[in-house]
Amino acid sequence: MSDMIVKKTARRIRNLAAGLGMAAAAQLALPGAAYAVDIQTITSDGGIKFLLVEDYTVPLIALSFSFNGGHSQDAVGKEGTSELLTNMLDEGAGEMDSKSFQEALDDNGMRYRFSAGTDKFSGSVQVLKSDADRSFELLSLMLTNPRFDEEPIERMKATRMNSLRAEQTNPQSIAAKALRETLFDDHPYSRPGNGTLESMEAITRDDLIAYHKNVLARDNVVIGIVGAISPEEAAKVVDKVFGKLPEKANLKPVPDVTPAIGEEKAITFDTPQTVISLALPGLKRDDEDFYAAYVVNYILGGGSFSSRLYEEVREKRGLAYGAYSYLATYDSTGFTGIGTATRAERAQQTVDVVRNEITRLAEEGPTPEELEKAKKYIIGSYAISNLDTSGKIASVLTAIQTAKLGTDYIDQRGDYIGSVSLEDTKRVAKRLLDAEPTIITVGRASE
């Protein structure tokens, strides 16, 4: 079994947001900390800009990329197109049909992963230095020249439809759907990223071709490369992989939207543990209050085993295995989410405890001690969590570009967090938390 798998299973909060069909990981948790990563900004001969970190310690090269697009670019009635595309790029490309291409990939041994989020279509690959030429050739074929043959389309649709059927009785998926639909009404963000049985059935080869042509374009991509490769070689790789994509993307505008807060939905479903999901106002990544909000979220229910929700829900009362909050930031909206799960007879008590913590933080703000601890954690954890493997650094390089942060961001992040004042956190706690939350529960009806 491969380490990639382990990384995937070690999912937490981020995937919960992803379960909503939203937010790629990089959009939720953002980079920063004083740590020397030597980032080079390079433009290839073909005119494509990318970031590079050279490191020859291990014989690997990691490449990460992200296109604007994602689920929100799926055509109406064809929801799930971008997700299906993540399965179709390696199912035959160029002259090779599915079987030949899969064998070529097997023989080469590169690792790759394509993913679709609410606003982005992304990928990451890791290649062995010794096989790099062939690996990037195959990657180029996947991105530029996928075949979209009928047999694999039909097969992947069937696989996805099986997953969609399973989602119908998964309490987490039921809650995510209800939350999405409650918050975003008829906005594109209300639509299911994975699609529905009907929309998946309806997707055709032409839909994949159209999506691919509209989204995967040179003016619409950010790229990060890390590993055993020189700037000149890296520039050639970028031209080889991305150079034949169309010049310009053709994206549908996604209007800004304010999430509907203050709604309640109790969904009756016969399962032992009730899933609880709350939403409050949020903000976008480019909001001037973002760093203060990041700190407030950490104190309420972010990262470590020391948050207020973790303490009150889990440690003191044993109500749940997990209790957490997150900032969901999208290109066109944002909200603050809270999640937990408990046995049916304790669901109401748990909601009450969570709501009490929301109110307390909104009214009083954090203590000076909490603020200091939060800053220390957020600053210190950055390098430990994000800069220890070449694959993660490559993701950081794309995230920095997606959020338009500048290559000094890793050095500056500590200051951005450090300069958040107690007053800032009190003001932002009120801005985010002084509201009737939207509350979704999925479980047995209370007696």
Partner 1 sequence: MKLKSGFLILALAASAAFTVTHMGVSAVSPAAAESEVAGPKVTSFFLDNGMQVVVIPDRRAPVVTHMVWYKAGAADEPPGKSGIAHYLEHLMFKGTKTTKNGEFSARVAAIGGQENAFTSKDYTAYFQRVTPEALPEMMALEADRMENLVLRQEDILAERDVVQEERNSRTENNPGSLLREAMGAALYQNHPYGIPIIGWQHEVNSLTKDDAIAFYDRFYTPNNAILVVAGDIDEATVRKLALETYGKVERRAEPGERVRPKEPEPRAERRVRMSDPRVRTPQFQRLYLTPSYYTDENNEAEALEVLSEILGGGTTSRMYRELVIGQKIATQAGAWYQGGSLDATEFGVYASPRGGVKPAQVETATEAVLAELLENGVTQQEVDRAAKRLIRSSIFTQDSQSTLARIYGGSLTLGSTIEDIQNWPKKIGAVTVEDVNAVARKYFDIRRSVTGVLLPQARQPKNEG
**Span 269-308, contacts to partner 1 by CB under 8 A:** 270-273, 303-306
User: Under a CB-based contact definition with an 8 Å cutoff, are residues 200 and 161 in contact?
Assistant: yes
Q: Which is nearer to partner 1, 169 or 250 (CB)?
A: 169
Map the footprint of partner 1 across residues 19-58, applying CB under 8 A.
Answer: 33, 35, 55, 57-58
Token reading at 364: 């009083």
Among residues 8, 49, 213, 252, the one that binds partner 1 under rule CB under 8 A: 8
Under the criterion CB under 8 A, does residue 60 sit at the interface with partner 1? yes
Q: What's the min distance (Å) between Cβ of 104 and partner 1?
A: 10
Task: Show Cβ contacts of residue 224 under 8 Å, excluding neighbours closer than 6 positions.
Answer: 50, 51, 52, 53, 63, 64, 65, 393, 394, 395, 396, 397, 398, 400, 401
Residue 33 falls in which region: left (phi positive, over 0), alpha (psi -120 to 50) or beta:
left
Q: What's the min distance (Å) between Cβ of 10 and partner 1?
A: 5
Q: What's the min distance (Å) between Cβ of 241 and partner 1?
A: 18
Under the criterion CB under 8 A, does residue 166 sit at the interface with partner 1? yes
Under the criterion CB under 8 A, does residue 160 sit at the interface with partner 1? yes
Beta bridge partners of 274: 342
Phi and psi (nearest 5°) for 266? -110, 110
Q: x/- binding map, residues 114-153, to partner 1, per CB under 8 A?
A: xx----------x-x----------------------x--
User: Under a CB-based contact definition with an 8 Å cutoff, are residues 395 and 64 in contact?
Assistant: yes
Distance CA 184, CA 118 (A): 13
Contacts within 8 Å (CB) and 24+ apart, 12-18: 12/322, 12/324, 13/302, 13/324, 13/326, 13/339, 14/326, 16/172, 16/176, 16/324, 16/326, 16/337, 16/339, 17/326, 17/328, 17/337, 18/117
Q: Which is nearer to partner 1, 44 or 342 (CB)?
A: 342
Under the criterion CB under 8 A, does residue 390 sit at the interface with partner 1? yes
Map the footprint of partner 1 across residues 365-384, applying CB under 8 A.
Answer: 373, 376-384
Map the footprint of partner 1 across residues 70-109, applying CB under 8 A.
Answer: 86-87, 98-99, 102-103, 106-107, 109
**Count of other CB atoms within 10 angstroms of residue 61:** 26
Q: What's the min distance (Å) between Cβ of 144 and partner 1?
A: 19
Tell me the site size for partner 1, rule CB under 8 A.
85
Q: What's the min distance (Å) between Cβ of 197 and partner 1?
A: 9
Q: Which is nearer to partner 1, 58 or 209 (CB)?
A: 58
Under the criterion CB under 8 A, does residue 3 sit at the interface with partner 1? yes
Under the criterion CB under 8 A, does residue 4 sit at the interface with partner 1? yes
Token reading at 99: 């079987």
Question: Which range, of 204-212, 288-296, 319-327, 426-434, touches partner 1 by CB under 8 A?
Answer: 319-327
Among residues 218, 265, 317, 430, the one that binds partner 1 under rule CB under 8 A: 317
The full DSSP string for 107-134 is HH--EEEEEE-SSEEEEEEEEEGGGHHH
